[in-house]
Amino acid sequence: MSCHPKNYTNLVSDYRDKSSSAAKIFRRGENMCGIVGYIGSKNATDILLEGLGKLEYRGYDSAGIAVIKDNSIQVEKRKGRLAVLKESLEDNHVEGNVGIGHTRWATHGEPSDVNSHPHLNNEHTVAVVHNGIIENYLSLRQELTEKGYTFKSETDTEVLPFLIDYYYEGDLVEAVKKTISRLEGAYALGIIHKHHPDMLIAVRKDSPLVIGVGEGENFIASDIPAILNYTRQVYLIDNNEMAVLTNDSVEIMKTDGTKVDKEIYNVEWDVEAAEKGGYAHFMLKEIHEQPKAVKDTLSPRVDKDGMVNIKDLKLDEDYIKRINKVYMVACGTAYHAGLIGKAFIEKYANIPVVADIASEFRYANPFIDENTLMIVVSQSGETADTLAALRLAKEKGAKVLAVTNVVGSSIARESDYVFYTWAGPEIAVASTKAYTTQIIGLALISLDMALKRGTIDEIKVKEIVGQIWKLSDKIEMILNREEEIKDMANEIHTSEDIFYIGRGLDYYLALEGSLKLKEISYIHSEAMAAGELKHGTLALIDKKTPVIAIATQDSLYDKMLSNIKEVKARGAYVIGVAKETNKEIEEIVDKVIYIPEVMDELATPIAVVPLQMLAYYVALNRGCDIDKPRNLAKSVTVE
């Protein structure tokens, strides 16, 4: 029942000793580092630490800063939480007017002070922070070692300050350009040089990066919340672009030196939206924000007469009629939302949909042509595997529709059509309101497609939209039963194995409920189609094994009752989830969570809420770090 991270030193050691394809897969693991940079007249250290604090939700195992002061680069970096770095800085004061900061998620080398960023060259003239993975770092490392450079860390990043040093002949920009030309992989970089204390350089390829524009000061960051206390004027840096920042200017160019003219994006959402607002955790806050998020996502897309209106999506009617296949591609929670979207499109637009996990999609020889529509779903809009699938589809001539929550994200910019979910900032690693708004978005998209294909009439659309409008109030009703759900969590929080079962859409929901539980409570959990129980899984059910049985589909309700009886006969402790009109379930389960009456297709956005809350309170009882679960992070920005 421990919530402390497992030691994975052996795994890292195994990786270092191998050059096999398995090692390559580990190298390309999750890396959700945070980057902050500042140049101006204020104390950079204070701004860097504050910015890194705003990026803690991304997940990290170490933190560090580098600041130029008196013609030298001062560095402080520590394994562990940001608080460890701050404590160290109390004894080793670092200050200056230009600097870079970083929170690291280990991929190359275990978490340690030495492996933490920033990394420097041997003479400590160059400092670099890096989000991403340099895939050809081994060959570069060997080359640089032969040239006399001495490596201290096990990271891929350390080749960067050495390469910059090697190419530097007085022109830092030119040295960075030459360095970038040698790199393979994904990266967002922040770079400073002690001989250029009036300059901060940023580079981006396949890893998010923004530039904040202030008065007499400028900023770089992995994500907008890091700099929102200082500016709302932001440049969204695209792939293969670099920027040279001074106190008073920002020059953006391609990595080949071609100048880029770019419009400033004005951030309109309030910085307070990224704060907890009185809740114990961001996750709980975001669960409670779902009624508003649903309304915000729905309101701009429905006319006064109750008709779907997503004209801003610009889905051409002739094109929609030509579509003969849809690929629904996403990862994790977004994939689970995509499964619900698949059901909507197949039922109402009458188009076959293949739902696939983005990390597997490119390796399955997908059949894509100009009559294929790919729908990609990503909360952050930066999910690397999803972005790679998007690019493959476009190479093969398909159109891509993105469902995302982040304006100006990579996936949004590279897609042909974009549907923004207006969920607002989602800080907790475990996604909640993004999931419900993704389902709402996919439902509206399916209805719009169905209308254009003539597979549904306006009367039916208005009927469905009318029910979607009521979802917000029905979710609120579930939130009012929080104490009831908390009591259920008390009954099962000491369990080591928990099973989720369902049929049809309820099976898709079971996948999401199980994921939420394992993400934040670290309890082993599995979800399965209830009809498959007798094909093996019943062997795992014994006395007091918790089973969450989801039975919200009227068309499958009787069959689900039979499946529940199967697990009860083996001694399981069953918590049922059902519509409030189906009271028979009370006779065979130990506890039941009722949801308001709703059409089968729209039960999921309601029924997921008690599952989210159940996971939350189980994790709370186990003393887990709910907003920052071990080994996980918010945005998976490399493959």
Model confidence at 272, in pLDDT bands (50, 70, 90)?
low
Model confidence at 52, in pLDDT bands (50, 70, 90)?
very high
Q: Are 476 and 604 in contact (CB under 8 A)?
A: no
Mean pLDDT lowest among 381-385, 486-490, 502-506: 381-385
What is the per-residue pLDDT for 14?
31
Q: What is the mean pLDDT of residues 77-97?
A: 91
Q: How many CB atoms lie within 10 A of CB 623?
A: 12
What is the per-residue pLDDT for 11?
26
Residue 215 lies in a domain: no
Domains held by the chain: number: 3
Q: What is the mean pLDDT of residues 562-586?
A: 93
Record the tokens describing residue 200, joined without a space: 């901060």
Strand partners, 330: 357, 377
What is the per-residue pLDDT for 250?
97
Whether 166 and 310 map to the same domain: the answer is: no
Model confidence at 23, in pLDDT bands (50, 70, 90)?
very low
Helix axes 471-479, 290-298, angle to 10 degrees: 170
Q: Is 534 exposed, middle or buried (0-12, 13-18, 19+ CB in 10 A)?
A: exposed
Q: Are 458 and 465 in contact (CB under 8 A)?
A: no
Q: What is the DSSP string of 45-94?
A: HHHHHHHHHHTGGG--SEEEEEEEETTEEEEEEEES-HHHHHHHHHHS--
Q: What is the mean pLDDT of residues 437-456?
A: 97
Q: What is the mean pLDDT of residues 360-370?
A: 88
Please report, rounded to a whole number, the percentage of residues in the chain having pLDDT higher than 90.
74
What is the per-residue pLDDT for 12?
26
Q: Which amino acid is at 78?
A: R
Strand partners, 191: 128, 201
Residue 99 Cα to chain centre, angstroms: 27
CA angle, 412 then 413 then 418, to 5°: 40
What is the per-residue pLDDT for 29?
30
Of 469, 488, 506, the domain-final residue: 469
Residue 626 lies in a domain: no
What is the per-residue pLDDT for 275?
65
pTM beyond 0.85: the answer is no
36, 55, 56, 389, 416 from 88: Cα distances, Å: 19, 20, 18, 43, 48
Record the tokens describing residue 214, joined without a space: 């202030």
The span from the CA of 14 to the CA of 17, in Å, is: 5
Residue 211 lies in a domain: no
Residues 6+ apart with CB under 8 A from 563: 501, 503, 530, 531, 533, 549
The span from the CA of 136 to the CA of 124, in Å, is: 24
Whether 456 and 487 map to the same domain: the answer is: no
Residue 271 lies in a domain: no
What is the per-residue pLDDT for 350?
96
Q: What is the mean pLDDT of the chain?
A: 89
Q: Which of 33, 285, 433, 518 is catalytic?
A: 33
Whether 334 and 432 map to the same domain: the answer is: yes
What is the per-residue pLDDT for 186?
84
Which parts of 255-295 are beta strand (E)?
Answer: 265-266
159, 196, 356 from 201: Cα distances, Å: 17, 10, 38
Residue 243 lies in a domain: no
State which of 9-13, 101-105, 421-425 shows the largest mean pLDDT: 101-105
The span from the CA of 224 to the CA of 209, in Å, is: 9
Whether 437 and 485 map to the same domain: the answer is: no
Whether 465 and 484 map to the same domain: the answer is: no
Whether 454 and 497 map to the same domain: the answer is: no
The span from the CA of 589 to the CA of 580, in Å, is: 14
Q: How many CB atoms lie within 10 A of CB 421?
A: 27
The span from the CA of 281 to the CA of 625, in Å, is: 9
Whether 486 and 450 map to the same domain: the answer is: no
Residue 635 lies in a domain: no
**SS3 for 485-497, per residue?**
HHHHHHHHCCCCE
Whether 441 and 574 map to the same domain: the answer is: no
Model confidence at 113, in pLDDT bands (50, 70, 90)?
very high
Please indicate whether residue 177 is annotated as part of the active site. Answer: no
Q: Is 90 exposed, middle or buried (0-12, 13-18, 19+ CB in 10 A)?
A: exposed
- Inform me whether the pLDDT recorded for 25 exceeds 80: no
For residue range 506-540, what is the model confidence (pLDDT) as tens digits?
Answer: 999 999 999 999 999 999 999 999 887 777 777 67
121, 287, 334, 502, 604 from 612: Cα distances, Å: 47, 7, 15, 16, 12
SS3 call for 248: coil
What is the per-residue pLDDT for 581?
93
Residue 47 lies in a domain: yes
Residue 6 DSSP one-character state: P
Please indicate whether residue 331 is annotated as part of the active site. Answer: no
Domain containing 156 — which CATH number? 3.60.20.10
Record the tokens describing residue 279, joined without a space: 């809740």
Nearest CA to 426 out of 299, 295, 287, 521 is that of 287
**Given phi > 0 = left and psi -120 to 50 = alpha, else beta, which region is 70?**
left
Nearest CA to 406 out of 416, 421, 417 is that of 421
Of 205, 234, 254, the domain-final residue: 205
Q: Which amino acid is at 351?
A: I
Model confidence at 57, in pLDDT bands (50, 70, 90)?
low
CA-based diameter of the chain, in Å?
80
**SS3 for 119-140, per residue?**
EECCCCCEEEEEEEEECCHHHH
Of 435, 469, 503, the domain-final residue: 469
For residue range 273-317, what is the model confidence (pLDDT) as tens digits?
Answer: 556 767 889 999 999 999 999 998 998 899 888 999 998 788 889
* Sign of the CA dihedral with 81 first, then 87, 91, and 92 last: positive
The span from the CA of 419 to the CA of 443, in Å, is: 12
Please report, rounded to a whole number, the percentage of residues in the chain having pLDDT higher than 70.
92
Q: Are 309 and 303 in contact (CB under 8 A)?
A: yes
The span from the CA of 224 to the CA of 233, in Å, is: 10
Q: What is the mean pLDDT of residues 591-617?
A: 97
Domain containing 563 — which CATH number? 3.40.50.10490
SS3 call for 147: coil
What is the per-residue pLDDT for 425?
79
The span from the CA of 338 to the CA of 442, in Å, is: 8
Of 265 and 32, which is predicted with more confidence?
Answer: 265
Q: What is the mean pLDDT of residues 391-397?
A: 94
Of 90 and 336, which is predicted with more confidence?
Answer: 336
Which parts of 552-614 are beta strand (E)?
Answer: 573-579, 591-595
Strand partners, 259: 253
Range of the domain at 351: 277-469
Q: Are 526 and 518 in contact (CB under 8 A)?
A: no
Residue 216 DSSP one-character state: S
Whether 160 and 15 map to the same domain: the answer is: yes
- Inform me whether the pLDDT recorded for 15 exceeds 90: no
Record the tokens describing residue 517, joined without a space: 């539980």
- Inform me whether the pLDDT recorded for 28 exceeds 80: no
- Inform me whether the pLDDT recorded for 440 exceeds 90: yes
CA angle, 140 then 144 then 150, to 5°: 125
Residue 264 lies in a domain: no
Record the tokens describing residue 276, joined without a space: 């907890």
Whether 386 and 534 map to the same domain: the answer is: no
Nearest-Å Rg of the Cα atoms of the chain is 25
What is the per-residue pLDDT for 639?
56
What is the per-residue pLDDT for 4?
33
What is the per-residue pLDDT for 530?
87
Whether 43 and 109 map to the same domain: the answer is: yes
Whether 465 and 498 map to the same domain: the answer is: no
What is the per-residue pLDDT for 13?
29
Mean pLDDT lowest among 52-61, 182-191, 620-629: 52-61
**β-bridge pairing 34-39 and 98-104:** antiparallel
